[in-house]
A and B are shown apart, each in its own frame.
Chain A
Amino acid sequence: KQEVTQIPAALSVPEGENLVLNCSFTDSAIYNLQWFRQDPGKGLTSLLLIQSSQREQTSGRLNASLDKSSGRSTLYIAASQPGDSATYLCAVIRETSGSRLTFGEGTQLTVNP
């Protein structure tokens, strides 16, 4: 059974700081890993998708890496801003599960002005 863990559960940083969010998964037989952002009471916004054959993806101030063999991914946020405050979720798709995503519990990020 695939399990996804995110550390830390919550993080509070001053504006401008670079930060790293961690995601680990137990079953390395995955198709891809996706990072999402969720604002309170809202749906999920896709940030980055990393295919199992890739090592990293970048979008603006965001960089996500994937180490499939060790079951780990990191989301790096550069020069954080108060608008980055949200819950960040990682999710994996297993090789045998169609489009089914297995989610971590999320990291609640607060960026203080």
Chain B
Amino acid sequence: KAGVTQTPRYLIKTRGQQVTLSCSPISGHRSVSWYQQTPGQGLQFLFEYFSETQRNKGNFPGRFSGRQFSNSRSEMNVSTLELGDSALYLCASNRGGSTDTQYFGPGTRLTVL
């Protein structure tokens, strides 16, 4: 069974640009969550999508947005990039229940110059 995949694995952007990250969950998983990991803030929750609907949202500005497609694949978009957006972005998937094990992808390393 294939694991969670994320593309691209590495990105370098400049301030002011926008970026789109992609996450493909494990087959059969309907929930996809996104997290930002930085040395200073640790792992911070961005948002969760379940059956194409945003189910939960963290405390990030509106520049961070996401969506989920009918095949459960999810994308995250960050507009008007700032230096502080440099981070490892991780997505996780599970079947959708709060008691289910969550499985993480390898992450996308975003560097903003």
Contact = CB atoms under 8 A, between A and B. Distances in A.
To the question of whether A and B form a pair in one complex, the answer is yes
Interface of A: 31-32, 34, 36, 41-46, 49, 51, 89, 91, 93, 95, 97-106
B109 interface: yes
B18 interface: no
Contacts of A105: 42
B109 A31 contact: no
B81 interface: no
Given A43-B104, A45-B104, A99 B96 contact: yes
Binding site secondary structure of chain B: strand
A100 B101 contact: no
A98 B56 contact: yes
B48 interface: yes
Interface string B1-45: 000100000000000000000000000000101010000001101
Given A42-B107, A97-B56, A99-B94, 16 more contacts: A32-B98, A34-B101, A44-B104, A89-B43, A97-B98, A98-B48, A98-B50, A99-B50, A99-B92, A99-B96, A99-B98, A99-B100, A100-B45, A100-B48, A100-B56, A100-B58
Binding site secondary structure of chain A: strand
B106 A31 contact: no
Interface string B48-81: 1010000110100000000000000000000000
B99 A32 contact: yes
Contacts of A95: 98
A91 B102 CA distance: 11
A36 B99 contact: no
Contacts of A31: 98-99
A100 B59 CA distance: 12
